[in-house]
Amino acid sequence: MTTLDSSKEIQKNNSVVNEKHEDFRIFGLITFLIADGMTFAGFFAAYLTYKAVNPLPDGAIYELELPIPTLNTILLLVSSATFHKAGKALLKDNNSDSQKWLFFTAFLGIIFLICQLFEYFHLPFGLTDNLFASTFYALTGFHGLHVTLGTLMILIIAWQSRVNGGRVTSQNMFPLEAVELYWHFVDGIWVILFIILYLL
C-alpha cells in the first residue's frame, strides 16, 4: 500500500495531474465484444456457406436431437436473469444475496457445460468425420470455451463480493457489470448458434 499512499501524496502536491475523467472501461469491453462477435460471425458465415454449397455425402446426414440444446438454451437464459438479480442485490448493498445469485449463475453455467459434454459423448459423429461434424464441434466448442471462461469469472467475482473484505461492492460495481455484460453476450451468441445450427 505504500506506493498507493505515495502516489496520493504526489497528487496532493501536484494539483495539475489530479484530473478525473469518466470510467470508460465498459465502452472498451463493448468494443472488444464486437470484435469477439465478429469471430463468431466468421464461423457462422463459413457454416452457412458450407451448408449451401458443399452437400454432404449420403449417409452423413444426421438430424440433431433437440432436447439437450433446448434445455441448454433455457439454462443460459435463466442464468442471465439470475445474474441480473445478483447485480440488483449488490446495488442494494445486499452482498450475501448477490453472492448467492452469483453462485447459482455459475452453477447453471457448469450444468450447461456438463450437458454440452453429455451431448458430445452421445453424438454419432466425431470431429473429423465430415465437414458438418467439424463445423459443429468448432462452433459449439468455441462457444463452450467462452462459457467456461465466463463461469470462472463469475466464480471469481462471487468470491470477491463476500461480505467482509471483498473487493466487489456497491461502490465498485465494475467487475460485476463487466462479467454480466460478457455473460449476456455469450447467451446471445448461444441463441443465434441454437437457431442456426439446430433449427435451420
Partner 1 sequence: MTISIDSQKTNNESLQPKGWLRYFSFSLDHKVIGIQYLVCGFLFYLIGGTLASAIRIELASPMSDFMPRDVYNQVLTLHGTIMIFLWIVPVVNGAFGNYLIPFYVGARDMAFPRLNAVAFWLIPPSGLMLVASYFVEGAAQAGWTAYPPLSITTPQSGQIIWILSVLLLGGSSIFGGINFIATIIKLRRPGLKLMQLPMYCWAMLGTSILVVLSTPVLAGTLILLSFDIIAKTGFFNPVLGGNVVVYQHLFWFYSHPAVYIMVLPAFGLVSEILPVHARKPLFGYTTMVFSIMGIVVLGLVVWAHHMFTSGTPPWMRLFFTIATAFIAVPTGIKFFNWVATLWGGKISINSAMLFSCGFIINFVFGGITGVALAQVPFDIHVHDTYFVVAHFHYIVYGGTVFIIFSSIYHWFPKVTGKMLNEKLGILHFIITFIGFNLCFAPQHWLGLNGMPRRVAEYDPQFQFVNQISSIGALLMAISTIPFLINIFISMRNGQVSGDNPWNALTPEWLTSSPPPVENWEGEAPLVEEPYGYGKQFYEQN
- Phi/psi region, residue 181 (left: phi>0; alpha: psi -120 to 50; beta: rest), is alpha
- Determine which residue in the list 94, 130, 160, 170 makes contact with partner 1, applying CB under 8 A: 130
Interface with partner 1, residue 18, by CB under 8 A: yes
Task: Return d(Cα 115, Cα 119) in angstroms, integer.
Answer: 6
Interface with partner 1, residue 12, by CB under 8 A: no
- Determine which residue in the list 110, 113, 123, 138 makes contact with partner 1, applying CB under 8 A: 138
Interface with partner 1, residue 181, by CB under 8 A: no
Interface with partner 1, residue 174, by CB under 8 A: yes
Cell numbers found for residue 96: 450475501
User: Could you tell me which of 175, 151, 142 has the C-alpha nearest to residue 40?
Assistant: 142
Q: With contacts defined by CB under 8 A, how many residues of the chain interact with partner 1?
A: 50
Interface with partner 1, residue 93, by CB under 8 A: no
Task: Return d(Cα 3, Cα 88) in angstroms, integer.
Answer: 34
Task: Return d(Cα 77, Cα 109) in angstroms, integer.
Answer: 10
Task: Say if CB 95 and CB 166 are below 8 A apart.
Answer: yes
- Determine which residue in the list 68, 71, 110, 131 makes contact with partner 1, applying CB under 8 A: 131
Interacting residues toward partner 1 by CB under 8 A: 3-4, 6-8, 10-11, 14, 16-25, 27-28, 31-32, 34-43, 45-46, 49-50, 53-54, 56-57, 127-128, 130-131, 134-135, 138, 142, 173-174
